[in-house]
Chain A
């Protein structure tokens, strides 16, 4: 199989134009896409370092995001702190199994799957032990599905609004919400920093 590197072609990561890589390229030179003018890199700079850092940070914050309450609901006197899991169980108990499933997938499964998948991609990197194509697909899937974790944050914003309007007692955001939002943002950036072209590089021993 011929690779782009062998042909001296580098794809722009923004507009996907095929750029001819300058033969006299020296370290420190800046190469720009002929079509959109964005800087192009043979491989994203410090891709592995950045992705590792963001994935580790995400994994650390995943714990407080799930252990601490996301919001405190004060309904007719009694104060109930709600964790992400608590919110899922509450929906399930009120007979809303499909919606509970949606929130469970979006808030608990997807962030963890995303972090684990990125770890897997980082560790396997350019190995040929398993299909490289499958790993490229996996990366695309992780990129697309990751944003759905924001459901919980949007839900919080709607509940806070109704809470402040005086009808639904009060809804106050809690520490868990910040940790949770951080996990979502960190994983978005981690996936963005990872360079899928690394999957196709020659295996380094």
Chain B
């Protein structure tokens, strides 16, 4: 009836994803070599450049969908699943779970991963492009994100949350 081991599995992917999300801007994503010069970019380099011009709304969309939404999703899942696993009572858990579910659809890390692959093929004709640590972190985050969604049994968690709320300490 329920997805197997939903709390344990989702929690492990959420915690792993959370670690990766926090690290996602700590390493460069791509390193590009062109006629002896090399340069690498971080996840936020592009959006921060766009921020300066008239195209700042684009920067906000990119930052939200590739940096903040994935982090919020992982933080939210961790915050909700820890009390469910140990039977604790955290404040505002239902609200957090609600916002996690509604903002979760803005987590477009898998699309960003595809964007990296397209960028590599596009740049390859001009010079050599190498994936850096940041790209691997993003691919890991992408895996954690889809696996967490796959393992999460919303109905089960909601029922648990209702029971936790009713149980008086």
Contact = CB atoms under 8 A, between A and B. Distances in A.
Given A36-B158, A75-B126, A158-B41, A177 B55 contact: yes
Contacts of B108: 147, 150, 154
State the majority secondary structure of interface residues on A: helix
7 contacts: A35-B162, A75-B126, A102-B114, A154-B66, A155-B118, A161-B45, A181-B58
B45 A165 contact: yes
Given A158-B119, A168-B126, A15 B158 contact: yes
B151 interface: no
Given A154-B112, A156-B58, 14 more contacts: A15-B98, A15-B154, A16-B155, A36-B97, A37-B94, A38-B98, A99-B117, A147-B108, A147-B111, A153-B62, A159-B46, A165-B40, A178-B58, A181-B61
| B: interface residue count bin | 35 or more
Interface of A: 14-17, 35-38, 75, 87, 90-91, 94, 96, 99, 102-103, 106, 147-148, 150-151, 153-162, 164-168, 173, 177-178, 181, 185
Contacts of A168: 32, 34, 123, 126-127
B9 to A, nearest CB: 20
A14 B30 contact: no
Contact of A151 (B34, B98, B105, B118): B118
Interface string B138-154: 00000000000000001
B115 A155 contact: yes
B34 A173 contact: no
Nearest to A75: B126
B36 to A, nearest CB: 10
State the majority secondary structure of interface residues on B: helix
A157 B49 CA distance: 9
Contacts of B94: 35-37
Q: Kindly list the 5 A-B residue pairs having the minimum CB-CB distance in the complex, ordered from nearest.
A: A154-B115, A157-B46, A161-B46, A165-B39, A161-B41
Contacts of B123: 159, 162, 168
A185 B127 CA distance: 33
Given A15-B101, A153-B62, A158 B116 contact: yes
Given A147-B111, A158-B119, A167 B98 contact: no
Contact of A167 (B32, B66, B116, B162): B32
